[in-house]
């Protein structure tokens, strides 16, 4: 893309192959997941991005070359964050080069489109639960935006941790999918949740994972108990800011408001590989809505921007 704008600013173009410098990994990209943050960058909401730019904050593939690093040609890897798609060209490409600190070598034979759906989704869900919420076994968790890919992953991880999970959906047709995925209680989204939450947890829940964003944040704060934590991670509702925000009245007494926008430093190869093994064993099935080709990236962005996706969108290169 040469400038911010509609999905049509994303155009397929031949460019010279990137050449890896010392400490960088050249990756033959096999697949990548699409993320809301890339949509916001495309719309012009990410400060400091210089154009032209190849978007993409994550990818999976095989190492071509990696001078001065621990990686070897042929390694299967995932790359996430660390400035990908913003400070330097990212994963929407056949080849990309990434600093070695943001690359993870794993042993997996998952299909590329399945592998490609997982790294950022897992990292964000796990980081939100641990760094953002400090979630503990036996606590209650409300996942607001439960049918999103991150919401589904967070619910499954939280259920494994021994939490009681409440998850929201605006569609009754998706309720069974939430229950199968680990949700103990399914709440109808689209309005205030306070009464529904208090009917299950009279004092409020211990943790709220806010994936809708500023449009529902104030209501989410009222769903938490005294001493509870609310972590804003997602902006599915499309709003970054709260107009006329008054903390003294907006934040209930004793409720903690946090956020999570962590990066690759919050993820280990061991944790990612363990999650990949779980997927391969069938104990967690990622919800993939559609798989696009590289030439369909603009169409994929239009699909995402229209909120038509019912799970992760993946591009297979």
- Using one digit for the tens of pLDDT, what is the confidence trace for 109-168? 999 999 999 999 999 999 999 999 999 999 999 999 998 889 989 999 999 999 999 999
My answer on whether 101 and 70 are in the same domain is: yes
* Domain around 240: 122-259
Say whether the peptide bond before residue 253 is cis (omega within 30 degrees of 0): no
Give me the CATH number covering residue 157: 3.40.50.720
Alpha carbons within 13 A on the beta-carbon side of 85? 25
**Three-state SS for 259?**
strand
Q: Helix, strand, coil: what percent of the chain each, to 5? A: 30, 25, 45
Residue at which a domain ends, from 218, 242, 259 = 259
Residue 70 and residue 128 share a domain: no
pLDDT higher than 90, residue 264: no
- Tokens describing residue 82: 């660390």
The CA dihedral of 289, 291, 296, 298, to the nearest 10 degrees, is 30
Clarify whether residues 139 and 155 are in a common domain. yes
Same domain for 127 and 252:
yes
DSSP state of 55: -
273 located within any domain: no
Q: For the chain, what is the domain count?
A: 2
- Check whether residue 88 and residue 201 sit in a common domain: no
pLDDT at 240 over 80: no
Burial 129-138 (b: 16+ CB within 10 A, else e): bbebbebeee
Q: What percent of the chain has pLDDT over 90?
A: 79
What stretches of the chain show up as alpha helix (H) in DSSP? 36-43, 112-116, 119-127, 149-161, 175-180, 194-200, 217-222, 247-250, 269-281, 297-305
Q: Are 163 and 185 in the same domain?
A: yes
Distances (CA, A) of 262 to 126, 147, 217, 239: 10, 22, 19, 19
Asked if residue 181 and residue 159 are part of one domain, the reply reads yes
Instruction: Assign residue 312 the CATH number of its domain.
Output: 3.90.180.10
pLDDT of 242 strictly over 90: no
Tally of CB atoms within 10 A around 287: 19
């Amino acid at each position: 893309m040469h400038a911010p704008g509609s999905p049509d600013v994303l155009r397929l173009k031949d460019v010279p192959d990137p050449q890896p410098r010392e400490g960088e990994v050249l990756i033959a990209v096999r697949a990548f997941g699409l993320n809301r943050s890339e949509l916001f960058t495309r719309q012009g909401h990410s400060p400091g991005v210089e154009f032209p730019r190849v978007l993409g904050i994550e990818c999976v593939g095989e190492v071509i070359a990696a001078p001065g690093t621990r990686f070897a040609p042929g390694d299967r890897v995932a790359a996430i964050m660390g400035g990908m798609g913003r400070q330097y060209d990212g994963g929407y490409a056949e080849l990309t080069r990434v600093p070695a600190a943001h690359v993870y070598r794993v042993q997996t034979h998952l299909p590329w489109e399945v592998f490609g759906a997982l790294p950022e989704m897992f990292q964000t869900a796990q980081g939100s639960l641990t760094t953002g919420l400090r979630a503990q076994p036996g606590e209650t968790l409300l996942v607001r935006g439960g049918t999103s890919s991150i919401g589904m992953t967070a619910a499954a991880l939280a259920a494994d941790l021994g939490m009681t999970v409440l998850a929201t959906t605006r569609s009754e047709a998706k309720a069974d999918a939430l229950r199968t995925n680990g949700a103990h209680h399914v709440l109808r989204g689209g309005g205030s949740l306070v009464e529904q939450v208090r009917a299950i947890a009279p004092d409020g829940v211990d943790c709220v994972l806010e994936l809708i964003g500023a449009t529902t944040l104030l209501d989410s704060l009222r769903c938490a108990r005294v001493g509870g934590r609310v972590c804003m991670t997602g902006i599915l509702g499309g709003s970054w800011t709260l107009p006329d925000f008054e903390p003294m009245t907006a934040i209930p007494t004793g409720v903690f408001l946090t956020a999570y926008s962590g990066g690759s430093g919050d993820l280990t190869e061991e944790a990612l590989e363990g999650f990949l093994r779980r997927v391969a064993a069938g104990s967690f099935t990622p919800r993939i809505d559609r798989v696009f080709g590289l030439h369909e990236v603009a169409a994929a962005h239009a699909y995402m921007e229209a909120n038509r996706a019912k799970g992760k969108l993946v591009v297979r290169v």
